[in-house]
Amino acid sequence: MIRLSIADRLKVYTRYIGQKVILTGKEATFGSEEGVLTGVNTSGIQVNINRQSRWIPLYDNFELYEIKVVLKPLRMLTENIKDTANNLPVQNFITQYYIQLGFDMPMFFSPGHPANCRYIEELGMASYTPQEIDQNVHKCY
């Protein structure tokens, strides 16, 4: 697996603000929590858990939580979604439309970056949680 720097991880999180995230504590005392990604700054992310905003700091050599964004694989695109995307006024909006709906999209970091063109799930930063996908797929219509 490609190890991403904090700056690269923050780029990914910035694309998916508003999506559900799963936080799994690296120590047993932290447990596992679900929330919504609501913000990103230079050293961490903000997650809304049970109507309370919490900042989760990110460090290069130490992780409090494993953070996974809950996304849908592209194979779940329906004809209705594709038709809507193809009718957007600018072709460059299609990718943003898919991201807004919570689909996993390939990432570009910088020229020559080893993680370019890889999906977020491939980078170990996303989860395709079946029950979450089943609940959210109907919201796309």
Beta carbons within 8 Å of 9's beta carbon, 6+ residues apart: 58, 125
Span between the terminal Cα atoms of the chain, in Å: 35
When pLDDT is cut at 50, 70 and 90, the band that residue 59 belongs to is: confident
pLDDT at residue 65 above 60? Answer: yes
Residue 25 falls within a domain, yes or no?
Answer: yes
Residue 45 falls within a domain, yes or no?
Answer: yes
Least confident range from 37-51, 71-85, 127-141: namely: 127-141
Q: Look-up: residue for tokens 């996974």?
A: 68
Distance (Å, whole) CA 129 – CA 38: 20
Tokens of 23: 């936080």
- pTM greater than 0.75 (yes/no): yes
Residue 1 falls within a domain, yes or no?
Answer: no
The total domain count for the chain is: 1
When pLDDT is cut at 50, 70 and 90, the band that residue 139 belongs to is: very low
Residue 38 falls within a domain, yes or no?
Answer: yes
Residue 17 falls within a domain, yes or no?
Answer: yes
- With contact defined as beta carbons under 8 Å apart, do 70 and 129 qualify? yes
Tokens of 45: 């992310």
What is the span of the domain harbouring residue 73? 6-140
Residue 107 falls within a domain, yes or no?
Answer: yes
For 69-91, the pLDDT digits (tens) are 999 999 899 999 999 999 999 98
